[in-house]
Amino acid sequence: MDIFVQQIINGLVLGSMYALVALGYTMVYGIISLINFAHGEVLMVGAMVSWTVVTALADSGLPGWALLLISLVAAIIACSALNFAIEKIAYRPLRNAPRLAPLITAMGMSLLLQTLAMIIWKPNPKPYPPLLPTDVMFLWAEGPVITVTQILILATTVIVLASLLWLVNKTKLGRAMRATAENPKVAGLMGVKPDFIISMTFVIGATLAAIAGIMWALNYGTIQHSMGFLPGLKAFTAAVFGGIGNLTGAMVGGVLLGLIEAIGAGYLGDLTGGV
């Protein structure tokens, strides 16, 4: 029972990170029907920028939580600017092109960002400093454990996802996003600026990716230039699993994928005799 509960906790933490990235995929697809395969690399850039800021301020005497907040703001700004530029330079000129052209462009952008990150930050893995207390807390005596970092990841994910749903369903920007997704030309006639809305969608997706990248770095303690590929691929799978273009589905798909992966890792070996 203890192992099962522990794997549930691990799965929820992992699924939370997948859900944040999957939301970026599904928001962009819902607006312009584009699979942004560079989205995983935006996560990587967020983690790298955060690591750079934390390393630069390591001797400043600031507490870990302050370093985390400062690096989070820097990562969000960098990722938002990056995704805004990607949409404007790489995707916007191909908006009316055949579907294959933006898809290939997205794959090329992913490889380009990986290569640039390898040049800027070097290819070797980098340890991400533990900014939060590393003590574990037992849910009950000698039972499953949870860390402060995992609690922060779960709480942040709930707050971010609730805020996103409020933004999309209750605000003027959210209504404009839904109108643009329904019909950009008609939305333009009603006073909505589709180009601006699409850019804002990319910026919001980049913000989610930056948060997920820092969560990933905090949870696993290491980063490198290729770290975004696998989470990005799994988050895309989660978005498709939940019905790509559906925000709630992307959240559920991410959490379910994390749970399946964690429970599978805990029990599949025993069930298959080690296969």
Please say if the pLDDT value at position 272 is more than 80. Answer: no
Output the pTM of the full model.
0.91
Evaluate whether 244 touches 27 at the Cβ level (below 8 Å).
no
Evaluate whether 40 touches 234 at the Cβ level (below 8 Å).
no
Per-residue confidence band for 273, with pLDDT thresholds at 50, 70 and 90: low
Please provide the average confidence, as pLDDT, over all residues in the chain. 88
Per-residue confidence band for 271, with pLDDT thresholds at 50, 70 and 90: low
pLDDT (tens digit per residue) in 189-230: 888 898 899 999 999 999 999 999 999 999 999 999 999 989
The C-alpha atoms of residue 184 and residue 194 are separated, in whole angstroms, by 6
Per-residue confidence band for 155, with pLDDT thresholds at 50, 70 and 90: very high
Per-residue confidence band for 154, with pLDDT thresholds at 50, 70 and 90: very high
Higher pLDDT, 139 or 63: 63
Please say if the pLDDT value at position 274 is more than 80. Answer: no
Residue 109: the pLDDT is 92
The set of long-range contacts for 157-161, using a CB threshold of 8 Å and a minimum separation of 24, is: 157/16, 157/17, 157/19, 157/20, 157/215, 160/20, 160/208, 160/211, 161/19, 161/20, 161/23, 161/251
Task: For residues 7-20, give the mean pLDDT.
Answer: 91
pLDDT (tens digit per residue) in 196-206: 999 999 999 99
Residue 208: the pLDDT is 92
In total, the chain counts a number of residues equal to 275
Please say if the pLDDT value at position 183 is more than 90. Answer: no
Please say if the pLDDT value at position 123 is more than 70. Answer: yes
| Torsion, CA 158, CA 127, CA 210, CA 34, rounded to 10 | -110
Residue 141: the pLDDT is 72
The three state secondary structure string of the chain is: CHHHHHHHHHHHHHHHHHHHHHHHHHHHHHHHCCCCCCHHHHHHHHHHHHHHHHHHCCCCCCCHHHHHHHHHHHHHHHHHHHHHHHHHHHHHHHCCCCCHHHHHHHHHHHHHHHHHHHHHHCCCCEECCCCCCCCEEECCCCCCEEEHHHHHHHHHHHHHHHHHHHHHHHCHHHHHHHHHHHCHHHHHHCCCCHHHHHHHHHHHHHHHHHHHHHHHHHHHCEECCCCCHHHHHHHHHHHHHCCCCCHHHHHHHHHHHHHHHHHHHHHHHHHCCCC
pLDDT (tens digit per residue) in 83-106: 999 999 988 888 878 878 888 998
Residue 222: the pLDDT is 92
